[in-house]
Amino acid sequence: MSVSQIYESLTEIFQTVFDDDSLAATPELTAGDIDEWDSLSNLRLMLTVEKHFNIKFSAAEIGKLKNVGELAALIEAKL
Amino acid sequence: MNEFGLAFHHFGLAVRSPDQAFGFLAALGYQQGETVFDPLQSVNLAMCYHADMPDVEVIWPSAEASPIDAMLKRRDSLIYHLCYTAADPADALLKMEKAGLAVLPAVEPRPAILFGGHEVSFYFVAGFGLIELIHCNPADATSLKT
């Protein structure tokens, strides 16, 4: 799977989790950019990402993520 | 006991400011435990105990940024986790996954000041929410009161 395909999938996931079709997953996107992105919705987001890509995250990996670019890189490393 | 080996321990109530929550709980007959600062999450914590009602852990922000800040941006309070004791957390998680539940590790095991140094860990259960596990035998739960 290419990086652009990962971002396409993440865009769909973000739109579903945050119920906002205008959202686009970009490397710079952070929790501070989306009002509804709190620690609980972040965990729901990560579970959805795990299921979609059929991968597993550790708590430490989730805790270190600073933006969507780091999330995409982590996904790419696990595929 | 149940198929996961979990025993209910407390509700986790996040509040912007604890005074009104403490007042409400006191009027219900709750006894307030000591306030502690959790340096790992940068939050203040106090357990509230009752002889006949479930215990409530009141959690409120400190001067530092914390994981509950964003949750409290659009609301004053929220019960955001349920806590259980588990004598064998790894076995409990394995059984949850075998039961078809999707479980995401949220906070790795670490000693908790509020629970006598017993390790606690957090998990997000799909379709249910955040759970905290205190790594101890349920029979020892009463000794956790501070």
| CB contact at 8 A, B114 and B38 | yes
Could you tell me where the DSSP H helices lie in chain B? 19-27, 89-98
**pLDDT tens digits for range B104-143:** 999 999 988 788 889 999 999 999 999 999 999 877 765 5
Let me know if residue B1 belongs to a domain: no
Q: What angle do CA B68, B72, B77 make, to 5 degrees?
A: 105
**pLDDT tens digits for range A31-78:** 999 989 999 999 999 999 999 999 999 999 999 999 999 999 999 999
Q: How far apart are the first and last CA of chain B?
A: 25
Residues of A in contact with B14 (CB under 8 A): none
Residue A78 neighbours by CB distance under 10 Å: 13
- B85-114 b/e with 16+ CB inside 10 Å = b? bbbebeebbebbeeeeeebbbbbebeebeb
Report the alpha-carbon distance of residue B117 to residue A17 in Å, rounded.
36
Q: How far is CA B59 from the centre of its chain?
A: 9
* Domain residue limits, chain A: 3-78
Class for the domain spanning A3-78: mainly alpha
Let me know if residue B110 belongs to a domain: yes
CB-closest option in B67, B80, B124 to A47: B124
Of all residues in chain A, the one with the smallest CA distance to B68 is A39
Could you tell me where the DSSP H helices lie in B19-128? 19-27, 89-98
**pLDDT tens digits for range B34-91:** 999 988 789 999 999 999 999 999 999 999 989 899 899 889 999 999 999 999 999 9
Q: What angle do CA B111, B135, B142 make, to 5 degrees?
A: 100
| CB contact at 8 A, A67 and A28 | yes
The number of distinct structural domains making up chain B is 1
Min Cα separation A58/chain B (Å): 6
Q: In terms of residue numbers, what domain contains B127?
A: 6-144
**Is B124 in contact with A50 (Cβ distance < 8 A)?**
no
Is residue A10's pLDDT more than 80? yes
Is residue B22's pLDDT more than 80? yes
Let me know if residue B101 belongs to a domain: yes
Tell me the CATH number at B79: 3.10.180.10
